[in-house]
Structure 1
Amino acid sequence: MPAPAFPTPPQPVSAETRLAYVLRHFRLAYENVPDISIGYAYHQPQLQIAESAGEFFNDTNPYPAAPNMREWLGQSVPFFFDAAPHKPLLELLPSGRPTINADVISGAFYLLSGWQEYYSEERDQHGRFPYADSVQQQYGFVTMPVVNYYFDVLKTAIEHIVDYSLQPRTWPNGAKWAAFITHDIDNLYSAWKASAKAAFQRRDWPGLARQLWQHFTQKDAWDNLEEVKQTVASYGAKSTFLFLPEHRKAANGTPNADYKIREADRSISLLINAGIEVGLHAPYRTNENEPFGSDLGWESEKVTGKQTGFGLRYHYLRWEPRLMPDMLYLVNFAYDSTLGFAEHFGFRNSYCLPFYPFNFQRGEACNFLEIPLNVMDATLHHPRYLQLTPQEILPALTPMLQEIERFGGVCTLLWHNENFDPANENTGPRQFAEIMEYLRSRAVAFVNGSDILGAISKQKSTSA
């Protein structure tokens, strides 16, 4: 599926725009950033960055030259727009002012803004930018939050100037990092179908009859939202439930919910009355001429009872950067949590903190917060994705989790309610428990979207 045409010509992205966008996020990442000048040589700043992007951001090429690998914090880190790899990454000028000899501003903007997927024509069958076409896959750094490493270089340079340490932002109760546990509610009443189908294929007529009897006389195994809530609470944690308001299939036959939203009204009310955060799982559209839709407020009201201030994630992680930032401009929602690769866990924008996506049509940051998705249960074992064994899951995730903890970030985990079914032995309750036990053992702050918004808002006021 090709990318849609540009709805309007993108605005030029000047060096000043890139600098302002990146430094805004840098100041949100640390709690005590001093008011010093940072920029390129012609700015005559206190902290000088080597400008090495040339004409790249005046063109539409999705991919820059290959990065140079440099050592930082004991890791081999890819630095894009690095025109002087023979020079030290960080050095002092004769005046005593530090200089960063790789263009970390342009590199951070390239990754954080999603430049590659905006200008790439590649899309998969669901209209998503494919992981296979990303620089993260090409250069092997999907589980490294590269922008956070660039920020650490900036932080170290600033500390040379002010002679005190900058502290990473903290989370509720002084925790060094946070975990955002989410559940997309795609299915509530379909658990019986797989067992019945298997019995039919085996010609196991008594087994088929038993499955049908259980279906008509007992609660479905996936109608388990109370059990999911209790399981999460047993770890001293909280989570967010996102409901699909559409049960009709998409125009291309892709399924939406297996329930009508009114059938879930009682479950939603019980969650809200218990203080659980509920959000919108924006559906795969039934009208092929309206692939992402503009009815989010109305759909949210059907789910949450409110048209503003809601959180959302798109079904199938569908995100079209050429359409959605501008389409969402007038939608008064609180946050999105769609931006993760379906094919691999890690960092789609190479950053482990919430951020404001870039609106290329307007040439500025979006007015909504993105809480990027790091791990989806389906990614771990789906036959089209990683196919990890149950024993491989936590060891595979641990290095990524360590990176998030190192930089004081947020780990966003998506675990569908149907995967709390004990019948799932691959990405089921046991694997969820192993991840939660790890997070709890590392003193993470379990937060919901509202907590994250509050923490970011507080940080904005103190860094203003």
Structure 2
Amino acid sequence: MPAPAFATPPQPVSTETRLAYVLRHFRLAYENVPDISIGYVDTQPQLQVADGAGGFFSQTNPYPAAPNMREWLGQSVPFFFDAEPQRPLLELLPSGHPIINADIISGAFYLLSGWQEYYSEERDQHGRFPYAASVQRQYGFVTMPVVNYYFDVLKTAIQHMVGHSLQPRTWLNGAQWAAFVTHDIDNLYSAWKAPTKAAIQRRDWPSLARHLWQHFTQKDAWDNLEEVQQTVASYEAKSTFFFLPEHRKAANGTPNADYKVQQALLVTQIRHLHRNTAEVAVHGSINADSVKLALETAAMREIVDLPFDSGIYLGNRFHYLKWEPTITPLIVESIPACYDSTLGFAEHFGFRNSYCLPFFPFNFQLRQECTFLEIPLNVMDATLHHPRYLQLAPEEILPAITPMLQEIERFGGVCTLLWHNENFDPANKNTGPRQFAEIMEYLRSRAVAFVNGQDIVGEMNKPTSTSS
């Protein structure tokens, strides 16, 4: 499935734009960043970076030349736009000022902006940029937040110049990293369907009768919103629930919700969650345009009684993680949204934009950062065992994702976890309550700050101090 044609011809992204975008995020990642000039060699700044991009950003090639692997922080890190790999990554000029000999500005911009998926025509059956087409897959670094490593090089150079350490930003109560626990509510009333269908196929009439009797006399196993909230709260953590306001199938037959969000009983349940510290957010439907997403957002605001003049805006995550880079940022920009949390690969846990902190997506049409904050998605339950994805055994899940979690902790980032409410059903032995508990126990053991989306936006909006 090809990407949509560009609404307007793509324009070159200037050196100044790339530099401003990357340094804006660098200054959001650290406290007490000194006010020194950082730029390319030809402008003679205080801290120089080699220019290795050439004319790449004036063209529409989705992929640069293969990166060179360099050692940093004990890891083999891919450096794109590295024109002189024989030179040390970081060295001192005769003036005593450092120079970074790989173009980490262009590398960071390329990865953080999502350049590859904007210009690639590769799309999967759901219209998504596929992991298989990514540089993360090609060069094997999906679980490494490469942009954070680039920022650490820049931080080290600055520390040499100013003689004191730059500290990563901290989270609630001074925690060194944070976890964002989320639940996409796609299904509430469908737990009975699969076992009933299986009983029919087996001609197991006693089991069929039992499943039907349970369906008509007991609450569905997936109708468990309060139980989910209580389970998460037992770890002294917070839940964020993304509700899907559209119950009709998409035009291509892809299902949306199996419930109607404005049904009276469900409205009561959602309001109860909201009153009991849960965050309620929007799960934008398949192929929602600006008008549709605005209507879905308005519906959820009405349910939680959130007036538009309150100054509080709901977060969003698109159903099926559907994100078309040529149009989706413009859709989110068009509504009052405080954050989005769609950007993760469905096929693999890790870092779709090679960054473990929230960031502002790049608007390629206007060639500037978007106004909404992206809280990237790192690990989704379906990724771990789905037949089309990783198919990890239950005991393999925590060991598999632990190195990624360690990277997030190392750089003071945010781990975004998506665990669907249906996978709190005890019948799920693969990505069910036990596997969720193991992940939560690990996070709690590492003194993580459990936050919701509103917390993250508030923290990211706090000014970081600047030293002179």
Q: Shorter chain as normaliser: what TM range?
A: over 0.9
1:277 and 2:242 matched: no
Question: What secondary structure sits across from 2:358 in the alignment?
Answer: coil
Deviations 1:214-266 (A, max 9, x none): 11110000000000000000001001001000111111111000001123211
Deviations 1:407-426 (A, max 9, x none): 00000000000000000000
Summarize the alignment of residues 427-446 of structure 1 with structure 2, pairs less than 5 Å apart.
427-446=431-450
* Structure 1 counterpart of 2:404: 400
Q: CA RMSD in A?
A: 1.3
Q: Does structure 2 retain, via aligned residues, the 8 Å contact 1:329–1:366?
A: yes
Letter in 1 for 2:362: F
Distance in 2 (CA, whole Å) between partners of 1:356 and 1:348 is 14
Question: What secondary structure sits across from 1:191 in the alignment?
Answer: coil
Aligned with 2:299 (options 292, 299, 302): 302
Deviations 1:100-128 (A, max 9, x none): 00000000000000000000000011110
* Structure 2 counterpart of 1:355: 359
Distance in 2 (CA, whole Å) between partners of 1:130 and 1:369 is 23
1:455 and 2:452 matched: no
Letter in 2 for 1:225: L
Distance in 1 (CA, whole Å) between partners of 2:3 and 2:375 is 24
After alignment, is 198-207 or 408-417 more displaced? Answer: 198-207
Q: Does structure 1 retain, via aligned residues, the 8 Å contact 2:40–2:51?
A: yes
Question: What secondary structure sits across from 1:181 in the alignment?
Answer: strand
Q: Does structure 2 retain, via aligned residues, the 8 Å contact 1:280–1:304?
A: no
Q: Does structure 2 retain, via aligned residues, the 8 Å contact 1:10–1:362?
A: no
Q: Does structure 1 retain, via aligned residues, the 8 Å contact 2:30–2:464?
A: no
Letter in 2 for 1:273: R
* Structure 1 counterpart of 2:93: 93
* Structure 2 counterpart of 1:196: 196
**Aligned residue-pair number:** 459
Letter in 2 for 1:337: S
After alignment, is 256-265 or 140-149 more displaced? Answer: 256-265
Summarize the alignment of residues 201-350 of structure 1 with structure 2, pairs less than 5 Å apart.
201-263=201-263, 264-285=266-287, 292-305=289-302, 306=306, 309-350=313-354
Distance in 1 (CA, whole Å) between partners of 2:400 and 2:183 is 21
Q: Does structure 2 retain, via aligned residues, the 8 Å contact 1:199–1:207?
A: yes
Q: Does structure 1 retain, via aligned residues, the 8 Å contact 2:82–2:102?
A: yes
* Structure 1 counterpart of 2:427: 423
* Structure 1 counterpart of 2:374: 370
Distance in 1 (CA, whole Å) between partners of 2:298 and 2:209 is 40
Distance in 2 (CA, whole Å) between partners of 1:381 and 1:221 is 20
Letter in 1 for 2:419: W
Summarize the alignment of residues 16-35 of structure 1 with structure 2, pairs less than 5 Å apart.
16-35=16-35
Distance in 2 (CA, whole Å) between partners of 1:282 and 1:316 is 9
Summarize the alignment of residues 94-133 of structure 1 with structure 2, pairs less than 5 Å apart.
94-133=94-133
CA drift at 1:27 = 0.1
Question: What secondary structure sits across from 1:261 in the alignment?
Answer: coil
Distance in 2 (CA, whole Å) between partners of 1:20 and 1:149 is 18
Question: What secondary structure sits across from 2:77 in the alignment?
Answer: strand
Question: What secondary structure sits across from 2:282 in the alignment?
Answer: strand
* Structure 2 counterpart of 1:49: 49
* Structure 1 counterpart of 2:138: 138
TM-score normalised by the chain length of structure 1: 0.97
Q: Does structure 1 retain, via aligned residues, the 8 Å contact 2:238–2:277?
A: no
Distance in 2 (CA, whole Å) between partners of 1:359 and 1:397 is 31
Letter in 2 for 1:297: A
Stretches (4+) displaced over 6 A: 461-464
* Structure 2 counterpart of 1:60: 60
CA drift at 1:461 = 7.5
Question: What secondary structure sits across from 1:91 in the alignment?
Answer: strand
Q: Does structure 2 retain, via aligned residues, the 8 Å contact 1:280–1:310?
A: yes
Q: Does structure 2 retain, via aligned residues, the 8 Å contact 1:344–1:386?
A: yes
Q: Does structure 1 retain, via aligned residues, the 8 Å contact 2:339–2:375?
A: yes
After alignment, is 324-333 or 207-216 more displaced? Answer: 324-333
Q: Does structure 2 retain, via aligned residues, the 8 Å contact 1:339–1:348?
A: yes
TM-score normalised by the chain length of structure 2: 0.96
* Structure 2 counterpart of 1:170: 170
CA drift at 1:292 = 3.8
